[in-house]
Structure 1
Amino acid sequence: VLAALEQTQIPPHCLHLEITESVGIDQPDQVRETLCKLKAQGIKLSLDDFGTGYSSLSYLTHLPIDILKIDRSFVKLIPETDQRPLMIDAIVSLAKGLALEVVAEGVEHPYQVTRLRELGCDYVQGYYFSRPLTTEEVVALLAQSHTP
């Protein structure tokens, strides 16, 4: 990772790496050491698909993560009604208590965006905003958004 940053001249603070909960199950000390080295360089670390793996909550304090990503399986359970999505509420509260940013994955409807914003989610991503894009499509989209 560090060699790729050096080769591309991308500043480390511009890189966000995502890891899944299961990444450190076999060799937790080695994974923690590696992630600490990456974080020391300024790279942001996200714990992806939170709540769907087999890890314990100790991951949140053991690993040097910056961002907690709520799995889309929880987001799809957000009702169109005023009923509070308790799992997401708990995950956001936990993350905020640990000074982590929160990203919700799999957002497909405007009412989900509204509810996630109300719950204190920092960022959302999903098909509501865009389907996955090729490099060329991203370049065209960025160029279009900067056209006066």
Structure 2
Amino acid sequence: MDQQLRERRALEHDLRFAVDRGELYLDYQPQQHRDGRIIGYEALVRWRHPDRGIVPPGEFIPVAERSGSIAQIDDWVLVEACREAASWDRPFRIAVNVSAAQFRRENLDAQVRMALRETGLEPSRLELEITEGVLIEDVSRAKKAMQSLKSLGILIALDDFRTGYSSLSYVEAFPLDRIKIDRSFVASLGQSERSLAIVRAIIGLAHGLGVPVLAEGIETRVQMSLLIEEGCDEMQGYLIGRPQRDAAVGSRFKPRVPSLIHSAS
């Protein structure tokens, strides 16, 4: 336990300087329309430690949240993602995750406005992904924050959507542009009728409200085929493409399973 504590403190210390030392970088995972077109990328933060090598996000993000260094990381990710997306030769959408700490700030809309102004990215190309857990903390405040963000002209996606009562109320209450189906449901497609029923219900609910659906975590052709058959609008996962450093290749990216897409649609 003492060794683990020392390791965590060392990681916390190094994280405070990761941004200034240029140790962070972004990978981009493609998002594909059901017809095979690449329509956007999700920005995923990575940390290349000088001694430890690549530190997994699942390891350093919780440490950053506990230590408070997540604020600096959030700011860097937002600006860097906008900057790189603005340099692409095609106007792909760029999705950026919003941490709980970042969403709780009173000036998130000002940060987004500054990032757009500094990088020159069109607001309509930026999508912020916000998880349900963040919204449930203070619904009235969350509504105001999302309305302020929407006034900037950006897109908002509900990330890791599940099927509790609160989830259904969020879909109606908040100005959402997209719903992302949680990968836990996608992983069981083709093996569990219950997962298929849940996915079908989410897609039906979203479409009934005029909101498109993106399923993440797609790894097999069976999963993709079932999602297309159920009317899922967009997809993301290793079958579509793994996160990659050079998102500029997006202009040359080809869907990995075009024949399946067209035959199933």
Alignment correspondent of 2:125 = 14
Alignment correspondent of 2:137 = 26
Aligned pairs for 1:117-136 (under 5 A) are 117-134=228-245
C-alpha displacement of 1:30: 1.4
Distance (Å, rounded) in 1 between the aligned partners of 2:146 and 2:129: 11
Alignment correspondent of 2:221 = 110
Alignment correspondent of 1:142 = 250
Cα 1:105/1:143, change in 2 over 3 Å: closer
Which amino acid counterpart does residue 103 of structure 1 have in structure 2?
L
Whether the 8 Å contact between 2:178 and 2:213 is mirrored in structure 1 is yes
Q: Of the two, which has the highest radius of gyration?
A: 2
Distance (Å, rounded) in 2 between the aligned partners of 1:81 and 1:24: 29
Distance (Å, rounded) in 2 between the aligned partners of 1:57 and 1:143: 36
Of all paired residues, the percent bearing the same amino acid is: 42
Greater mean alpha carbon deviation, residues 86-95 or residues 50-59: 50-59
C-alpha displacement of 1:25: 1.8
Runs of 4+ in structure 1 displaced over 4 angstroms? 80-84, 143-146
Whether the 8 Å contact between 1:52 and 1:71 is mirrored in structure 2 is no
Which amino acid counterpart does residue 244 of structure 2 have in structure 1?
L
Secondary structure at the aligned position of 2:205 is classed as: helix
Greater mean alpha carbon deviation, residues 14-23 or residues 72-81: 72-81
Which amino acid counterpart does residue 138 of structure 1 have in structure 2?
A
Q: Which of the pair is proportionally richer in strand? A: 2
TM-score (norm 2): 0.50
Partner deviation per Cα, 1:31-86 (whole Å, 9 max, x = no partner): 11111121122211100000077834211111111101001100011116999811
Which amino acid counterpart does residue 15 of structure 1 have in structure 2?
L
Greater mean alpha carbon deviation, residues 69-78 or residues 20-29: 20-29
Task: Name the structure, 1 or 2, with higher relative contact order (CA <8 Å, separation 6+).
Answer: 2
Of 47, 66, 73, which residue of structure 1 is paired with 2:184? 73
Alignment correspondent of 2:160 = 49
Of 114, 122, 125, which residue of structure 2 is paired with 1:3? 114
Q: Which of the pair is proportionally richer in helix? A: 2
Alignment correspondent of 1:64 = 175
Q: Which runs of 5+ in 1 are unaligned?
A: none
Secondary structure at the aligned position of 2:213 is classed as: strand
Which amino acid counterpart does residue 69 of structure 1 have in structure 2?
K
Whether the 8 Å contact between 1:46 and 1:65 is mirrored in structure 2 is yes
Distance (Å, rounded) in 1 between the aligned partners of 2:166 and 2:130: 12
